[in-house]
Amino acid sequence: MKLVTRVQAPTPKFFKVLRNIGLVLAAVGGTILAAPVALPIVVTSVGGYLVVAGGVASAVSQLTTINDNVNK
């Protein structure tokens, strides 16, 4: 299955929820990183990890598809 076809294919409900959670995590991490005040290094590191984890979770969830042609 090509990448464009996979992205456009329907996504199962569980992975839609997981994708949305990943987007929220990435947004929270981005907000922490872009804060206009000086934050402790630990908080900034956690923000970076949230961005990466949220991005990966969203990307993997978006590429998961429903496959009705399963070989039995």
pLDDT at residue number 70: 56
Please tell me the distance from the alpha carbon of residue 28 to that of residue 11, in angstroms, as a whole number.
24
Write down the H helix ranges in 1-72.
Answer: 3-8, 13-33, 41-63
Q: Is the pLDDT of residue 69 over 70?
A: no
Mean pLDDT of 43-57: 95
C-alpha triplet 70, 71, 72: angle, nearest 5° = 110
Tokens standing for residue 49: 């990890």
Whether the model clears a pTM of 0.85, i.e. scores above it, the answer is no
Q: How large is the average pLDDT for residues 4-15?
A: 86
Question: Could you tell me how far CA 51 lies from the centroid of its own chain?
Answer: 9
Categorize the per-residue pLDDT at 41 as very low, low, confident or very high, splitting at 50, 70 and 90: very high
Query: Are 47 and 23 within 8 A, CB to CB?
Result: no
